[in-house]
Amino acid sequence: MSELLGVILIFFLIGYVLYKKAKRDVIREQLQRQENIDLISSVTPIFRGTSTERFLILTLLKHGINSRTIFHDLYIFKPDGKTSQIDLVVATSVGIIVFEVKDYSGWIYGKGNQQKWTQVLSYGREKHRFYNPILQNKSHISQLQRILKEKVPFYSVIVFYGNCRLEDISFIPQNTFITKSYRVLDVVESILQNNPIANYKDKHNVVNLLKKAVTNGSKDNIEEKHIDNIKDMLGDDRIFK
């Protein structure tokens, strides 16, 4: 009988230890989640943009990038009244890094000078075309250069999230970088370490204009209008098959 009680006591102690450990793990996870939320919120509202954009923000912050230099979900008004939406901008001492965030699966093929890139799924049985992200971000940078009026270097970084493989990517322009998400910090460090200090005319003006572009995104219906402009540009409703 005493042996049975001893076994029961041992199982009770093991269960208690496991319970306490599980409770500590839950608390630790909750604290970590709250810490991440607080970090992201220092740059952008927690539900603004996509989850991959917010994860990139978190990655940059944990790497030591100052939250005041990160600008998320910017909208720039073009001369024709339409908007250009930019995922992420980081103002650095060597120039301005402009991020375009993609979330794809499958194999990705494309050249820097092609209008369309290709996403291949199901071992080649399914293919989709999408607009060349290099050209897309080049357009974003042109709009930024127009409003900022700063003759500093601009660096284009296209970040691929998701279960995709960059199979055949070539003819990448100068100051343009293509990367999977797990190497994005390598790209950032390469830019920061291998380029000279930029000569800004007015850093405060740059920050204020970037903040204004972020604020534009919070205006009523701006996102809906931007999506409508893209749909109109693609003209899918004008194709009759």
pLDDT in tens, 14-59: 665 666 566 565 545 665 788 999 999 999 999 999 999 999 999 9
Beta bridge partners of 84: 76
| pLDDT reported for residue 60 | 98
Q: Kindly write down the DSSP assignment for every residue of 162-204, as one continuous string.
A: SSEEEEEEE-PPTTEEEEEGGGHHHHHHHHHHSSPPP--S-HH
Give burial (CB, 10 Å; 0-12/13-18/19+) of 20: exposed
Look up the domain containing 82 and give its range.
49-238
Mean pLDDT, residues 70-95 taken together? 95
Nearest residue to 53 via CA among 193, 214, 229 = 214
Same domain (yes/no): 135, 217: yes
Same domain (yes/no): 57, 7: no
Mean pLDDT of the chain: 86
Same domain (yes/no): 22, 106: no
Please tell me which residue, 60 or 21, carries the higher pLDDT value: 60
**d(C-alpha 51, C-alpha 98), whole Å:** 18
| pLDDT reported for residue 125 | 83
Q: 165 near 107, Cβ under 8 Å?
A: yes
Same domain (yes/no): 5, 25: yes
| pLDDT reported for residue 240 | 45
Same domain (yes/no): 118, 191: yes
Same domain (yes/no): 88, 163: yes
Same domain (yes/no): 94, 193: yes
Which tens digits make up the pLDDT trace of 86-144? Answer: 999 999 999 999 999 999 999 999 999 999 999 999 777 899 999 999 999 999 999 99
Nearest residue to 148 via CA among 103, 86, 195, 196 = 86
Q: How many separate domains does the chain show?
A: 2
Same domain (yes/no): 112, 31: no
Same domain (yes/no): 119, 2: no
| pLDDT reported for residue 218 | 80
% of the chain with per-residue pLDDT over 70: 78
Same domain (yes/no): 128, 224: yes
Q: How far apart are the first and last CA of the chain?
A: 83
Structure tokens at 91: 């103002």
Task: Please state, as a whole number, how many other Cβ atoms lie within 10 Å of the Cβ of residue 134.
Answer: 24
In this predicted structure, the answer to whether residue 162 has a pLDDT above a threshold of 80 is yes
Please tell me which residue, 13 or 196, carries the higher pLDDT value: 196
